Amino acid sequence: MTNNNTRPNIIIVALDSLRADHLGCYGYHLNTSPEMDALGQESVVFDAAFAAGIPTMPSFTTLLTGLHPYRTGIVSHIGQRRLAEHVQTLPELARERGYVTVGIDNLVVQGEGRGSWFARGYDHYSGYLYRPFGDQDARLTDRALDYIEEYTDAPLFLFLHLWSPHTPYGPQPPNDTRFYEPGSAPYDMAEVRKLQPDYYESFVNDMKLAHPEDYAYLVAQYDGEIAQADAQVGRIVRALKQRGAWDDSVLLVLSDHGECFGEGGFHFDHHGLYDAVTRIAMLMRLPGRGPGRCGALVSTEDIFPTLTAVADLPAPPYPLTGTSLLPLLDGKTAETRPYVVSAESTRQASLALRTLEHKLVLPFTEDSTGAPLPDFYGRPRDPAPLLFDLRADPDEEHDIADDASDKLAELMGMLHTWRMEMAEATGEPDPIQAQGLSLSFDRFMERLLARR
């Protein structure tokens, strides 16, 4: 595949539920990601990249539009809101400029049509139903490689969404035991199950684990799935190089969100706006720009304007909430965004405002009608905001809201101003309070038990 057009190929490989700190290039102690680590040596590695919304549908909607979930209204996974027709997506803009656009993704199929906008703008949308416990990642990558091989006369826009390492964890041998260190985890499964016995009994059983009572085994399965997905990233890199397209291609490898292993009392899932979930892996290989690391705050909002700038795509006729990272990467500006606001409204509802030094989490306990919004486990929720000093407490274990009233007031004021600006821009009420939860505890349990 040799790109005979002046525009670069844009290849996006999205890995679902991937924690940045479980990759070697982000300091992990296990060799889960040799291919991504090698790619990191040729890319910009973003150390402080965060999802503006979780989980998958809000995160990837922002990725493909450059708009915060509060601007699109897509604040939950498989919710009732649809992306407005006037909002342009990255593949739509690419196709207008002569790209062959390919999407290999399941959000239209998995969302039962409620994610229809994820098929917008593609010449070829290859949908699939996620099937764990097999080699689906490899087969989906085969599809991607076929398109890389086929299209030579026009630039290629390719979005490949792999679901590893999402639950249920089930890597193939030898990755199922490759990272297992029996009894090495800091948590006991008996204590985890006590958090919500019905939930964890059903959830863990759904994974068909060989050692379901050893927390370390579950983490090892997650790491094994990372290794499986990592191998597919390597295949993409090698194909681009072997076909002479490497120097003409932007390659972005990233996650939609992370995964919790105890943070905030969550296990094997991706809710709660802790860094374990909102921080994403993000490696961007840009032609003509050297590798390096970027420690500035970055939001998924910033990816769309960065890629449109790289490919000289037209800007949409409305303001974006993200900004291009190219001036920062080229050393033309030292300015960075002062904070990232992250939203969740699927299993529980919250907003978080994160600076480089502090994190504010604001729980939502009622919707706009006054109906309660329970927490992840279906319990009444404490409305008190949480505040973390990330310098002294990077694992967000100690809420200092009661001891740092001035800082709490400052960040609450910033978040209030931001919410008012979003409401003024959209002319709509707060989308989290208006929509409520899309997958409450009771609904999730019904769906989980139906699979057994």
Task: State the average pLDDT over residues 402-424.
Answer: 98
Q: % helix / strand / coil in the chain, to the nearest 5? A: 35, 15, 45
Of the candidate ranges 3-12, 248-257, 373-382, the one whose mean pLDDT is the lowest: 3-12
What is the model's pTM?
0.96
Note every long-range contact of 419-428, with CB atoms under 8 Å and residues 24 or more positions apart, other chains counting: 419/70, 419/351, 422/68, 422/70, 422/71, 425/71, 425/319, 426/70, 426/71, 426/73, 428/73
| Residue extents of the structural domains in the chain | 9-329, 340-450
Question: At residue 112, does pLDDT exceed 90?
Answer: no
Task: State the average pLDDT over residues 400-426.
Answer: 98
Confidence of residue 331 (pLDDT cuts 50, 70, 90): confident
Instruction: Please give the full DSSP string across 112-169, using - where no structure is assigned.
Output: TTTTGGGGTT-SEEEE-----SSSHHHHHHHHHHHHHHH--SS-EEEEEEE-TTPSSP
Confidence of residue 151 (pLDDT cuts 50, 70, 90): confident
Which helix (H) or strand (E) is 387 found in, with range? strand 386-389
Burial class (CB in 10 A: 0-12, 13-18, 19+), 155: buried
Question: At residue 120, does pLDDT exceed 90?
Answer: yes
pLDDT confidence of residue 352: 98
Q: Which two tokens stand for residue 284?
A: 């961007």
Instruction: Please give the full DSSP string across 333-351, using - where no structure is assigned.
Output: -----S-EEEEEESSSEEE
pLDDT tens per residue across span 284-302:
999 988 899 999 999 999 9
Asked whether the beta carbons of 65 and 73 are under 8 A apart, the reply is no
Nearest residue to 427 (alpha-carbon basis) of 115, 80, 87, 73: 73
Q: Which two tokens stand for residue 196?
A: 């919500």
Percent of the chain surpassing pLDDT 70 = 98
pLDDT confidence of residue 449: 75
Nearest residue to 52 (alpha-carbon basis) of 308, 356, 303, 329: 303
Confidence of residue 371 (pLDDT cuts 50, 70, 90): very high
pLDDT confidence of residue 5: 60
d(CA 170, CA 17): 14
Task: State the average pLDDT over residues 156-183.
Answer: 96
Please count the residues of the chain: 452
pLDDT tens per residue across span 226-249:
999 999 999 999 999 999 999 999
Question: At residue 4, does pLDDT exceed 80?
Answer: no
Question: At residue 61, does pLDDT exceed 90?
Answer: yes
CB-based contacts of 87: which residues, under 8 Å, 6+ apart? 65, 67, 72, 117, 316
pLDDT confidence of residue 147: 96
Q: Which two tokens stand for residue 427?
A: 């002319």
Asked whether the beta carbons of 121 and 95 are under 8 A apart, the reply is yes
Confidence of residue 450 (pLDDT cuts 50, 70, 90): confident
pLDDT tens per residue across span 249-286:
999 999 999 999 999 999 999 999 999 999 999 999 99
- Pick one of 3.10.20.440, 3.30.1120.10, 3.40.50.2000, 3.40.50.300 as the CATH number of 340-450: 3.30.1120.10
The backbone torsions φ and ψ at residue 163, rounded to the nearest 5 degrees and listed phi first, read -90, -15
Instruction: Please give the full DSSP string across 66-106, using - where no structure is assigned.
Output: S--HHHH---STT-S----TTSPPHHHHHHHTT-EEEEEE-
Sign of the CA dihedral with 149 first, then 154, 155, and 159 last: negative
Mean pLDDT, the chain, rounded, equals: 95
The backbone torsions φ and ψ at residue 412, rounded to the nearest 5 degrees and listed phi first, read -65, -40
Which helix (H) or strand (E) is 303 found in, with range? helix 303-311
Question: At residue 3, does pLDDT exceed 60?
Answer: no
pLDDT confidence of residue 155: 96
pLDDT confidence of residue 389: 98
Task: State the average pLDDT over residues 46-54.
Answer: 98
Q: Which residues pair with 360 in a beta bridge?
A: 353, 387
Looking at domain 9-329, which CATH architecture does it have? Answer: 3-Layer(aba) Sandwich (3.40)
Confidence of residue 451 (pLDDT cuts 50, 70, 90): low
Burial class (CB in 10 A: 0-12, 13-18, 19+), 95: middle
